Amino acid sequence: MHDSFQALLHLVIPEGVSDYFKLVDHKAEANSIHIYLEELNSIPLEYQSNRLQSKGFFDEVILQDFPLRGREVFLHVKRRRWLNLDSNKVVFRNWEVVAKGTRITQDFAAFLKLSADTKAHSLQTIGSFYGVNGKKLQRYYRDKLSDYSLWEHKENARKGLVFEQNMGPFLSIDETSLSHGELYTVVTNKQAKGKAGTLVAIMEGTKSETIIPLLQKLSLKQRNKVQEITLDLAGNMSLIAKKCFPNATRVIDRFHVQQLATEALQEIRIKYRWQAIDAENQAIEDAKTAQVTYCPPVLSNGDTLKQLLARSRYLLYKKEDNWTAEQAQRAGLLFEKYPDLRKAYELTQKLSWIFSTTTDKLYAFARLAKWNELVEQSGFKSFNTLSRTIINHHQHILNYFDNKSTNASAESFNAKIKAFRAQYRGVGNVNFFLFRLAKLYA
C-alpha cells in the first residue's frame, strides 16, 4: 500500500519532487490532506566531486499545493543538508519548487495568478475557491505573483488611466462610484462587449475641466474616428463628449429619460402615501381622545390605504400586461382611489411606448411633441420638469432613433466594477484595484 501511494505521489506533487523525496507519512482530515516528505540522501549533482556527509534536515517547511476533492493540500517538506568536508561548509540542493516570496508551489502559484489576471473575482473569492487564505493570496499576488510592483501607473493610477488601443467607433461614457463616494468617469468601447479591450479610460472625478485634458492624451486621429457616443443627461458628460470626440454623434440614453418619468410617477405616489400616513396618525389621536380603539379601514384585497400605496411601488414600474393577478387587483384599487396616479402611470407608459415602437426620427419628434402637450394638460409639476428637460435636450434624445443606441453597455460595465469593488472593499488601495481592473478589461 505504501509503494502504491508513493507511485501515486508522482501525479499529486509538483513534477520532479518525487524523484528526490520519499513519503514518510500522510494524513487526511475533514478539510485537508497532509503529505510528509523527506529529501533522499542523494548527493546534488553539483557536488558529485566533493566529499559530503549528511547532517540531517532543515526545519520542516509547509507548502500549499492544488486542492484535491475540495480539500486543501499541504506538503510538509524536510530538506536535507550536507557538510562539504572539502570546504567545511553546509550545502544543500538548489530547489525552485516554491514561488518566490510565497509558501505556495510554483505550479499552483502560476495557476492562481492566471485566475486573478483573468477572472473578475476578488482575491478573497479566488482564494476560497482553491483553499488558500484570502488575505495571504492578496499579499502574494500584490507583492510577488503579479507585476504590480513594476507597473508604471502604480503611484498615480487613481488620477486616470487611458488605453488608446481600445478605442473604437462606438463608445459610451458614464460615471461610477468605486467606494466611499469616490466618483470616476469611465469611457468604454461597446464592440468589446464587456470583455478584454472594453476599458478606454477610467478617470478620477467627473468635472469636465479635469476629464477633458486626460482624454485629449488620446491621439486626435483616433478620437476623430469615433462615430457615436452614448451618455446620460448630465451636462458635463455632454461637454466632455463634444470636446474630446468632435465628430461623434451624441446620443442621450433613452433609459435615463424613462427613469426620470418613473421617478416623477413615484413622487406622486409618495406624496399620497405621506398624506395617508398623516391621516392615519390623526385618526389614531382622535380615537385616543374619544377613548375608543382605532381600527384602520381595510380594502377588498386586505390592504389598508397606507399599505396599498406602499405596496404599489413595484407594479408602477411594470407594464400592465406584466402584472400578476394580485398586482392587477391592487392597481385597480389604487387608480380608483387616486385617478391622478392612473394619469401619471399612463404618461410614463406612453413615453416608454414612443421609445420602443418608433423607428423614424421625424415620427418620434411628433410623438414627443404630443406627449409634451399631454403633460401640460396634466398639471403635474414633476412631469412638466421632465418635459422641459426633453425639450432642452431633444436633439441628442432624438439621435437615439437613428441606431437605437443606448448606454446599457456602460451601465452593465459599471455594475461589474461596483460588484468587483464590493468584493474587494477593505483589501487594498485604489491604485491596486485599478491595476486589477486594467488587467481584466484593458
Cβ distance 172 to 229 under 8 Å? yes
In this prediction, residue 215 has a pLDDT band, given cuts at 50, 70 and 90, of very high
- For residue 425, tell me if it sits in a domain: yes
Among 244, 242, 236, smallest CA distance to 214 is for 244
Distance CA 310, CA 264 (A): 16
Taking each helix axis as running N to C, give the angle between helix 254-289 and helix 381-392, from 0 to 180 degrees, rounded to the nearest 10: 170
Domain range for residue 53?
A: 2-97
Give the residue-averaged pLDDT of 261-274.
96
Q: Are residues 235 and 258 in the same domain?
A: no
What are 42-58's pLDDT values in tens digits? 888 888 888 999 999 98
- For residue 324, tell me if it sits in a domain: yes
Distance CA 338, CA 14 (A): 73
What are 69-117's pLDDT values in tens digits? 788 888 888 888 999 999 999 988 877 766 677 777 788 888 888 888 8
Domain count, the chain: 4
Q: Are residues 279 and 394 in the same domain?
A: yes
Q: Are residues 361 and 220 in the same domain?
A: no
- For residue 104, tell me if it sits in a domain: no
Name the residue with higher pLDDT: 141 or 381.
Answer: 381
- For residue 42, tell me if it sits in a domain: yes
Position 127 pLDDT exceeds 70: yes
Residue 67, classed as helix, strand or coil, is strand
In this prediction, residue 420 has a pLDDT band, given cuts at 50, 70 and 90, of confident
Distance CA 330, CA 390 (A): 32
CA atoms within 13 A on the CB side of 51: 4
pLDDT at residue 1 in the model:
46
Q: pLDDT > 90: what percent of the chain? A: 52
Cβ distance 112 to 132 under 8 Å? yes
Among 268, 267, 257, smallest CA distance to 399 is for 257
In this prediction, residue 9 has a pLDDT band, given cuts at 50, 70 and 90, of low
Q: Are residues 276 and 238 in the same domain?
A: no
What are 180-210's pLDDT values in tens digits? 667 899 999 999 988 889 999 999 899 999 9
Distance CA 175, CA 204 (A): 10
Q: Are residues 259 and 368 in the same domain?
A: yes
pLDDT at residue 8 in the model:
64
Position 226 pLDDT exceeds 90: yes
- For residue 103, tell me if it sits in a domain: no
Q: Are residues 380 and 267 in the same domain?
A: yes
Position 355 pLDDT exceeds 70: yes
In whole angstroms, how far apart are CA 241 and each of 41, 157, 160, 170?
Answer: 70, 22, 17, 12
Residue 32, classed as helix, strand or coil, is strand
CATH of residue 437's domain is 3.30.420.10
Per-range mean pLDDT, top range of 52-66, 92-106, 295-309: 295-309
Q: Are residues 303 and 392 in the same domain?
A: yes
CB-neighbour burial class of residue 411 (10 A; exposed 0-12, middle 13-18, buried 19+): middle
pLDDT at residue 149 in the model:
83
Give the residue-averaged pLDDT of 372-384.
93
pLDDT at residue 319 in the model:
94
User: Grid coordinates in use for 151?
Assistant: 507597473
Position 433 pLDDT exceeds 90: no
Mean residue pLDDT of the chain comes to: 88
Q: Are residues 270 and 384 in the same domain?
A: yes
Give the other-Cβ count within 10 Å of 272's Cβ: 19
Q: Are residues 430 and 356 in the same domain?
A: no
Name the residue with higher pLDDT: 3 or 121.
Answer: 121
Distance CA 228, CA 251 (A): 7
What are 329-339's pLDDT values in tens digits? 999 999 999 99
Q: Are residues 307 and 365 in the same domain?
A: yes
- For residue 317, tell me if it sits in a domain: yes
Q: Are residues 77 and 129 in the same domain?
A: no
Q: pLDDT > 70: what percent of the chain? A: 93
pLDDT at residue 427 in the model:
45
- For residue 102, tell me if it sits in a domain: no
Q: Are residues 211 and 261 in the same domain?
A: no
User: Grid coordinates in use for 117?
Assistant: 489576471
- For residue 195, tell me if it sits in a domain: yes
Give the other-Cβ count within 10 Å of 7's Cβ: 10
The model carries a pTM of 0.75
